[in-house]
Structure 1
Amino acid sequence: MKKYISQLQQFWIDHFLTRPGNLKALRITMSAVFGLFLFYLLGYPKWGLLVGLGIVAAALTENEIHVRPAIKSTLVISFLFFIFSSLTNILMPHPWAFGIFIVVATFLLTVVGSYKSSYASLGFGSVLIIIYTMIIETPVDGGWYLTPLLFCVGVIIYMMSTIVLVYTNPFQALKNEVSLGYNMLGKYMQTKAKFFPSTAEEQEEIRNELALINIELFSQTEKIKRLLQQYNTVITPNEEKPLRKYIIEWNRLQNLHERAVSSHEPYDLISKKSKNTMLIKGFGKLLYETGGAAQQYAASVLQNTAYQTPTDLTWTRNALENLVKQEGYLEEGSISYLFKNISSIGENLSGNLFDKQYLLKSSPEKVSMKEIFSVKNARFRHAVRLSICFLAGYAIMVMFDLTLGAWILLTSLIVCQQTYNATRQRFFRRIIGTLLGVLIGIILAILVPTPLGQLVILIISMYLFFKYLSSNYILAAIFITVYVLEVYNLQNGSGIAVMIPRIIDTLIGSILAYLSIRIIWPEWQYKHLKPLLIKAIDRNKNYLEAVMNMALPDEVYLHHQRSVHRADNALTEVWKSMRIEPKSKRKLLTSARNFTYLNHSLLSYISAFGVHRQNLDFKDVDFAYLREIIFTLDEVKQYILGNEELDCPPLEDMLIDAQKAEDSKGNELFLKNILNVSNEMKDAALEIKF
């Protein structure tokens, strides 16, 4: 018996405790099962289905981390759901009035997210509940208020599970995100390990892969920061000490991120400096094992267990250190710095060497009404597009008397995103997922015709929908389609009959969403390239100056470090999105790619400099390098802006002598690399034509 209990516990740890997405999907599903079972016992099984929809809508709306805001959210979400569902039931018999209502409500509920980020999810959930009310049939024995009340019951059931969770484990959300951050850090290092060794062709592919992982990793550190700031406003005095632990973990993660991103010299040059291939492969092995250690550290954070340094990492580090000694590289050269940097990551994970508790204060969200309702506001443009989609979709629904035409609006809500890139991806994934879901759903309906079997499929489909919602939208669309089919089967046995209308409505809604982003204020990425390049150059300059200013407080240095990563990620996102835009709109694609690589290289070299800044002494020649680098980056800005060249000052004598040295060490090693990349950026800027 103990054996089975132990296996069950391990299964729980492996599949739920260490996988927060699975755990949330399970919580939502169990809430829905409770609602279904409760109303089945009360003799109203169909009411349980409506409660289930309320639970789904609440789960897509709520994201609370503490008891007090969770209780407040329960009241707010219930109030909004009741009001908008009631208005829908009252106005639906009057097409003109309802048409005006749904367009205005959609616009206001969407644009309100510009005022405060937490309002965005409330707005989305309220629009979703309007559509759910349109889709379902109000029970014949209930008035206009019955459906809204059942939705509110669903909200209360789900939010009770949230309140219990955050009460029993108030830092679970933070623990999940910190663990995910270390997992992503490990993935980044294991991908970077492919550089040792690698060819020039392979390096371009690796850089592309790293740039995309870096977007996810930095975005995760930003998410952790916002979560910490959110906790900081709601915790009790007794919870301040455990929160400090996670602030330290966030600072540690950023420090290790800087170390992981850093480059000490072009990788082909490092390979050329040593003819010992075992040494180069050893660096790859050490970096890969360090990435694995970061992922084990992530598991220890999630499970509240002590982290133990992997034996493979210790063995690899010792073996590589011996190789480095044999080759005579334990001095101030690129191979020496590279070894010390990678080794320090593993040491930082295994010891209590890191105790910084800096948490950048969140600035209050202050947005004026003028800014909210400005065409320059991306969310305003999105609200206009979505409202027009709803207007067109509802007009089609009324004109052609489509009984299930509300699915057109539901599809448009899901597919229509703020950018062309995101909308295009949702467009194809929604259609493919729906078609496959219809096929699978029909097969299951034929094979499992009994109500009990259909109920089991419905529950499994709900779980799998939420499990894959954020990671694989095609699978999510498949399972939500199967879920819908089973809901209709359980209501009135019409599951298979409604699948053809679902396909047609999905196609119409998807096309409306695609056309809206394609025609109404299209967000072509080449328009954003110039300002993002200027911002990235300025942020790199500030970062380099911060590295060489030892009097700068650590909090200010951290601010510059985060700002430069934010600018680098924005530039990478533009290039990434540009690649899938229509060919006629891929202007400056080659330039965007070149500048993305060069900017990330510049950031990597400055990061390497920053990693070792506490152990460096700056001399006059170092500041001469700094002045030359700043001037070169200013030239890059002028070329991008299309201005005349700056008057170039003569190269300082000490800099001329320093550049003649064949093998640079210490500070010059870093500064030379930074200057070389800056000059490459200047050459690239001369060729770009905006």
Structure 2
Amino acid sequence: MPTLRHLAESDRFADVVRVLLALGGITAWCTLEGPATAIVPALLGAIACALAETDDAWRGRLRGLVVTLACFALAAIVVRATIAHPVLFAIVLPAGTFVLVMLGAASGRYATIAAATLILAVYTMIASDVPGGAELSAILFGAAWYGLLSLAWSVFSPQRAVRHALARLYESLAGLIEAKAALFEPVRDLDRQSLEVAYSQRNLHTVQALASVRGALLDRTGRRQPRGRAASRLAMFFVAQDIHERIGSSHYPYDELVGALYHSDIMFRFGRLLRLQATACRERADAVRTGTRLRSIALPRGALDDLRDALDHRRHAFAPDQAVDDALAALLRNMENLQAAIEDEGSLRDDGDIALQGDEPRSPREALARIRVRLNRRSMHFRHAVRLSAGLFCGYLLMLALHPSHGYWILMTTLFVCQPGYGATRRRLIQRVSGTLGGLVAGWALLQLLPGGDWRLPVLVASGAAFFAFRLRRYALATGAITLFVLLCFDRVGAGYTAIGPRLLDTLLGACVAAAAIRFVLPDWRVRRFDDLVADALLAYGRYLERIAAQYATGKVDDLPYRIARRDAHAAQAAVAGNVAELLTEPGHAPERGERALRLLTALQAGLSHLSTLGVHRQALPPADADSVDRLARHVADAFDTLADHVRTGMPSSALDAPEPPPDATETLRLVIRQCRLLARVHDRIAVLPPA
């Protein structure tokens, strides 16, 4: 029973059940009542609609369904009207592909619908292999049937997507905190660069999870004042943001801290607190996912008391070191304030700014403006649109040369394999070929073992559902499942065995076309874009620092402008981390470029950590101290802006000077000045690296 409950509460369970119901309903209706030839196009239409689905509330899902069906109808009509005319189709195919990919530049929702429309277009071509099976009504019927099921599901379970997004967020926070705890290992000569890179990758997943929850909450609350469970989940989101900022802070360089505290257990105690916090976040994720009673994720008071005793013992037993002592005191205060925020997570302040900023365009004009900005050779969207259009065009020419009537799997493989980046394309290519081979072998075995007739229908439906169960995490298995699904579809019209050999050949040809496209058509090598992303991160850091400094005059408040600046800084650093992960898989660049990218990534991560430290200790200072903080912050922010220009152009940059704390400075002012000095060190680490 616990295993079944865990399965039922998994984030993929609802998707799989909806697909099972949709495919099962179509199969039953076409077998018992409808025309048998409609089963293949109707099933393909349902799968395409499921691929276009987003985690919106029912109103957003209804709007999305209308747009999806309109796009599907237009794509199917165009394919049906031009497929018999090779010259015309060879013009329409790349042009339509380019337009759809560029429409995805407007937002993630548009990108999902545009990608599904492309898939539906290829499915319409595949359905033309079946006699009488290219009927537009059957394809649209299957898509509409799944859309109505999805709409009904969202009406009766409106908060499920929010729960699962929150669960993924707290699960991601647990991994991030564990990665931070690894930096507190009291070991000399530890490879901290690899630990910092691992932390950056964890932070990338957390930033993505935060964006997912924000979108889900915004879609369901809008501009209304949330009540009940919605308010509780919004409060959990804000607590997660606070945890993210506080865990991301760095009060002192870890290698220097280890050297100063090597003969003490303080580093170990801090690491233990972090691991306890990670365990609590993971338990919170499980509770949110399963809908069980939420428990506080605050740490046991005894754990903090033990750390206070250890710090008191150090102050009495060792010679004073003001910089280290201040850092340890600020670390303890950060943990204490984090626990206070966690204990107060159950409610939203009436006077607080709880507005959320969404990523979706607010009007068609704004959507078109986003697309227009990306209509240039430097845009990743533009380059991918050109590359995919060229790949499908070449795949179609290859299909005409080999077997013009039934070679549409070449196009489908090219569409699925060709990704925006080289590393992602290479992974998808291997997974697609291996999955297709496994699916064809399994299909051949099933055709041999299972008797003919309707006995094979449950396997057909199950294989379609299995595709959605595995497609996000185990793509090779998903490919095998969908290959088996299509093979059994062909078997419904007596072409099961004859499809095995050609489908394998088409998959190999389509994979080769995708590989050639990513390699030779406007190749988007990440090493070429890397310095621009680093410069964007430096600019975002400057804006974040300015927002932080302003609150040392007015007092701490997590208003929308501050949260936007913080989010932009984390998103910019996450973009660099994702770029590095792709860059290291690409061929053709010297090893020193990969080493340079890793050094820049760790430097940017250190800079963001010091900014987070300034953020978590915001408080109103006396006017004279606030003016000092403002001047120093503007000096550092201006230096980061200048450095961004130098990184973008490859020009050398001078070092950044930052003052020492005056002897009579307060503890908070000393903390701010020392963090700005550490930011200056980050600036100089980046400035001395040679250009790419």
Normalised TM-score (structure 1): 0.87
Q: Secondary structure at the match of 1:614?
A: coil
Find 1:348's aligned residue among 330, 341, 345: 341
1:201-240 equivalences in 2 (<5 Å) = 201-233=190-222
- State the one-letter code of the partner of 1:349: I
- State the one-letter code of the partner of 1:165: W
Shift of residue 316, structure 1, vs aligned partner: 4.1
- State the one-letter code of the partner of 1:228: L
1:377-526 equivalences in 2 (<5 Å) = 377-449=379-451, 451=453, 454-492=456-494, 494-526=495-527
8 Å Cα contact 2:383-2:524 kept in structure 1: no
8 Å Cα contact 1:575-1:592 kept in structure 2: yes
Find 1:359's aligned residue among 355, 361, 383: 355
Instruction: Quote the residue 2:253 is aligned against.
Output: 266
8 Å Cα contact 1:421-1:577 kept in structure 2: yes
Shift of residue 95, structure 1, vs aligned partner: 2.2
- State the one-letter code of the partner of 1:16: A
Shift of residue 410, structure 1, vs aligned partner: 0.5
Q: Secondary structure at the match of 1:575?
A: helix
Instruction: Quote the residue 1:338 is aligned against.
Output: 331
Shift of residue 143, structure 1, vs aligned partner: 8.2
Could you tell me how far apart the structure 1 residues matched to 2:78 and 2:347 are? 55
- State the one-letter code of the partner of 2:173: L
1:289-304 equivalences in 2 (<5 Å) = 289-304=276-291
* Count of aligned pairs between the two proteins: 669
Q: Percent identity?
A: 22
Q: In structure 2, list runs of 5 or more residues that go unmatched.
A: none
1:113-192 equivalences in 2 (<5 Å) = 113-115=104-106, 117-137=108-128, 140=131, 142=132, 147-192=135-180
Normalised TM-score (structure 2): 0.86
Could you tell me how far apart the structure 1 residues matched to 2:209 and 2:272 are? 26
Could you tell me how far apart the structure 1 residues matched to 2:451 and 2:335 are? 59
Q: In structure 1, list runs of 5 or more residues that go unmatched.
A: 1-6
Shift of residue 594, structure 1, vs aligned partner: 0.9
8 Å Cα contact 1:225-1:359 kept in structure 2: no
- State the one-letter code of the partner of 2:355: L
8 Å Cα contact 2:297-2:342 kept in structure 1: no
- State the one-letter code of the partner of 1:477: T
8 Å Cα contact 2:37-2:133 kept in structure 1: no
8 Å Cα contact 1:112-1:120 kept in structure 2: yes
Instruction: Quote the residue 1:3 is aligned against.
Output: none
8 Å Cα contact 2:49-2:143 kept in structure 1: yes
Find 2:601's aligned residue among 592, 596, 604: 596
8 Å Cα contact 1:329-1:335 kept in structure 2: no
175-184 or 369-378: bigger deviation:
369-378
Measured against aligned partners, the alpha-carbon deviations of 1:451-501 in whole angstroms (never above 9, x if no partner) come to 566333333322222122112222222222222233333442x43442222
Find 2:52's aligned residue among 57, 61, 75: 61
User: CA 1:450–1:312 in structure 2 vs 1: closer, same or farther (change >3 Å)?
Assistant: farther
8 Å Cα contact 1:262-1:604 kept in structure 2: yes
User: CA 1:670–1:272 in structure 2 vs 1: closer, same or farther (change >3 Å)?
Assistant: farther
User: CA 1:55–1:627 in structure 2 vs 1: closer, same or farther (change >3 Å)?
Assistant: closer
Find 1:30's aligned residue among 9, 13, 21: 21
Shift of residue 529, structure 1, vs aligned partner: 2.8
Could you tell me how far apart the structure 2 residues matched to 1:436 and 1:329 are? 67
Measured against aligned partners, the alpha-carbon deviations of 1:152-211 in whole angstroms (never above 9, x if no partner) come to 221222122212222112232222212211111111112222223245434222211111
8 Å Cα contact 2:82-2:88 kept in structure 1: yes
Measured against aligned partners, the alpha-carbon deviations of 1:53-89 in whole angstroms (never above 9, x if no partner) come to 1111100012252333433444443343334324433
User: CA 1:70–1:312 in structure 2 vs 1: closer, same or farther (change >3 Å)?
Assistant: closer
User: CA 1:685–1:497 in structure 2 vs 1: closer, same or farther (change >3 Å)?
Assistant: same
8 Å Cα contact 1:434-1:477 kept in structure 2: yes
Could you tell me how far apart the structure 2 residues matched to 1:586 and 1:240 are? 55
Measured against aligned partners, the alpha-carbon deviations of 1:369-425 in whole angstroms (never above 9, x if no partner) come to 754644344323322222222221111112222543100110111111223332222
8 Å Cα contact 2:413-2:511 kept in structure 1: yes
Could you tell me how far apart the structure 2 residues matched to 1:518 and 1:645 are? 34
User: Are 2:7 and 1:15 equivalent residues in the alignment?
Assistant: yes
Shift of residue 117, structure 1, vs aligned partner: 4.6
Find 1:280's aligned residue among 263, 267, 288: 267
Shift of residue 44, structure 1, vs aligned partner: 4.3
- State the one-letter code of the partner of 1:212: Q
Measured against aligned partners, the alpha-carbon deviations of 1:509-545 in whole angstroms (never above 9, x if no partner) come to 1121222222122112232233333322232233233
8 Å Cα contact 2:129-2:406 kept in structure 1: no
Instruction: Quote the residue 1:685 is aligned against.
Output: 687
Measured against aligned partners, the alpha-carbon deviations of 1:80-130 in whole angstroms (never above 9, x if no partner) come to 333432443343333223333323322322222234553333322222222
Q: Secondary structure at the match of 2:190?
A: helix
User: CA 1:96–1:680 in structure 2 vs 1: closer, same or farther (change >3 Å)?
Assistant: closer
User: CA 1:66–1:631 in structure 2 vs 1: closer, same or farther (change >3 Å)?
Assistant: closer
Find 2:30's aligned residue among 39, 42, 49: 39
Q: Secondary structure at the match of 1:151?
A: helix
User: CA 1:214–1:329 in structure 2 vs 1: closer, same or farther (change >3 Å)?
Assistant: farther
Q: Secondary structure at the match of 2:104?
A: helix
User: CA 1:116–1:549 in structure 2 vs 1: closer, same or farther (change >3 Å)?
Assistant: closer
- State the one-letter code of the partner of 1:474: A
- State the one-letter code of the partner of 1:401: H
- State the one-letter code of the partner of 1:247: L
User: CA 1:508–1:346 in structure 2 vs 1: closer, same or farther (change >3 Å)?
Assistant: farther
Could you tell me how far apart the structure 2 residues matched to 1:589 and 1:299 are? 38
User: CA 1:370–1:163 in structure 2 vs 1: closer, same or farther (change >3 Å)?
Assistant: closer
Could you tell me how far apart the structure 2 residues matched to 1:575 and 1:323 are? 40
Could you tell me how far apart the structure 2 residues matched to 1:620 and 1:459 are? 68
User: CA 1:33–1:519 in structure 2 vs 1: closer, same or farther (change >3 Å)?
Assistant: same
Measured against aligned partners, the alpha-carbon deviations of 1:329-362 in whole angstroms (never above 9, x if no partner) come to 9996323332343354454334336635532444
CA RMSD of aligned residues (A): 3.4
User: CA 1:293–1:327 in structure 2 vs 1: closer, same or farther (change >3 Å)?
Assistant: same
User: Are 2:254 and 1:249 equivalent residues in the alignment?
Assistant: no
Q: Secondary structure at the match of 1:584?
A: coil
8 Å Cα contact 1:39-1:47 kept in structure 2: yes
Could you tell me how far apart the structure 2 residues matched to 1:28 and 1:153 are? 15
Could you tell me how far apart the structure 1 residues matched to 2:68 and 2:641 are? 51
Could you tell me how far apart the structure 2 residues matched to 1:73 and 1:668 are? 53
8 Å Cα contact 1:196-1:280 kept in structure 2: yes
Instruction: Quote the residue 1:4 is aligned against.
Output: none
Find 2:587's aligned residue among 545, 566, 582: 582
Shift of residue 631, structure 1, vs aligned partner: 6.5
Shift of residue 149, structure 1, vs aligned partner: 1.3
Q: Secondary structure at the match of 2:427?
A: helix
